Amino acid sequence: MGCVSRPVLQLWFEFASTYSYPAVQRIEALAADLGVGVEWKPFLLGPVFKSQGWNDSPFNLYPAKGRYMWRDLERLCAKHGLPFRRPTVFPRPSLLAARVACAAAAEPWCGDFVRAVFHANFAEDRDIASDETVAAILDVLGRPGRALVEAAGAASSARRRPWSATSSSGATTGSRTRSRGQPVARAIGVDRPDRHPRCRGWPGPAMMVSERDMGLLDLLGGGAPGIGVGDPAPDFALPDRSGRTVRLGDYRGKKAVVLYFYPKDDTAGCTKEACSFRDQYQDFQDAGAEVIGVSSDAEASHEKFAAKYRLPFVLLADRSGAVRKQYGVPATLGLLPGRVTFVIDRQGIVRHVFNSQLQATRHVEEAIAALRALAGA
C-alpha cells in the first residue's frame, strides 16, 4: 500500500511585515498539530510598493491606518502571549535575512531562524538589516553565522532575487499544486492563522487562491468583491467631472456598462489603466458599451486627469466611498482602494468581474473579452 505524503503549506512572508509576525510565530505549531508541514517563502514588499509609486510603507504614508495597525498588532500579540516592542525603525530592510532564509529553505532550522529574526525585530527592536544581528541569531542556532552572512551577501547571490513572487507580471499560484510529490497549499501570512474563513480545518495563515497570473498585491488583497457574476448591479447616482449627476440606471436597456473602480487619479497604475481604456474606447463603443471609471477623487481632480490624458469616457466622484462599499470592492493590504472591473449587460446584470491591483491594463483586456463573449452568446 502506497505511503501518503504529508501536506505542505507554503508560507509567504516579509520579515518587516507587522502582521506576519504573529502568524509566523504560531504557524508551525498549529500546522504540526494537524500533520501539516511548513515551507518558508520569504519575499520583499519594497519592490511591490515601488511599482505602485510608494516610497514607504502604506502604514507610514497613511498615518491613521498606521496608528490603528500598531494598536491592533499590540492587542493581537497580547492575546496570543507574544512579546512585542514597536520597532524604532519601520520598516526595516530585510534583504539579508531573506537571502539567508532562502539559502536555508531546506534546512530543519529554517523555521527557528525565521522566528528568531521576527522576534529580534518586533520583540527586541534589533536591527535585522545588520550583519552582526543576523550572524548572532545564526550563532545561537548553532550555525556558522559569519560564514552564512558572507555567503548571503556574495556578489553571485546579489544577482538573484529572493522575492520571486513580487513581479508585476504576477506569481503563478494555485490552491493545490504538487511539489516533490507532496500536496502543497500556498498562503500569505495573516494575523489569525486559525480563523481564516477560507481555511476551516486548515492550520495555516492563509489566503487560498485559485486565480492564476495574480500579482503579490492581489494575493494580499481583501478577498473577492461583494458583487459577483449573475448579481444585479446596484444602482447609484454620482457626479461626473463637470458636476452632472450620472445614474447607472440610465444605461439600462440601452447600453452595456464597463464599470471600473480604481485607486487614484494620475498615479502610475491608474494612468496606465485609464490610457488603455482610452486607446480601446472605440472598441467598447462598437460593442455597445460605455466605460465608467470611479474613484474617491473630487470632480476637479477628474477634470484635470481627463484633460491631461484626453480621456473620452465618464469619470465619477465617489467621495464618500459609498458606491465602492456598495459593490464590495476590497482594499489591498486594508489600505489601498481596490482595482476591480465589473462588466454589466444591458439588463443590469453583472456578467464578468476582474479583480487585480497590479495588472492594470489587463482590466481592459478582460472587459473587451467579456463583451465579445456576450455578443456571441
* 270 a catalytic residue: yes
Residue with cell 556574495: 154
Residue 91 and residue 83: Cα distance in Å, rounded?
A: 18
3-class state of residue 15 by DSSP: coil
The rounded distance, in Å, linking the Cα atoms of 321 and 329 is 10
Q: Which of 77, 110, 199, 270 is catalytic?
A: 270
**Mind spelling out the 3-state secondary structure of 63-100?**
HHHHHHHHHHHHHHHHHCCCCCCCCCCCCCCCHHHHHH
- Give the residue carrying C-alpha cell 541569531: 137
7/9 Cα distance (integer angstroms): 7
Q: Please identify which residue in the block is written with the cell numbers 490603528.
A: 68
Q: How many of the other CB atoms lie within 10 Å of CB of 295? A: 25
* Structural contact between residues 262 and 274, judged by C-beta atoms closer than 8 angstroms: yes
Buried b (16+ CB within 10 A) or exposed e, 195-231: ebeebeebbbbbbbbeeeebbbbbbbbbeebebeeeb
Residues 298 and 313: their CA atoms lie apart, in Å, by 16
Give the closest residue to 15 by CA, choosing from 135, 136, 121, 151.
121
**Helix 20-33 vs helix 63-79: angle between axes, to the nearest 10 degrees?**
30
Cite the active site residues. Answer: 270
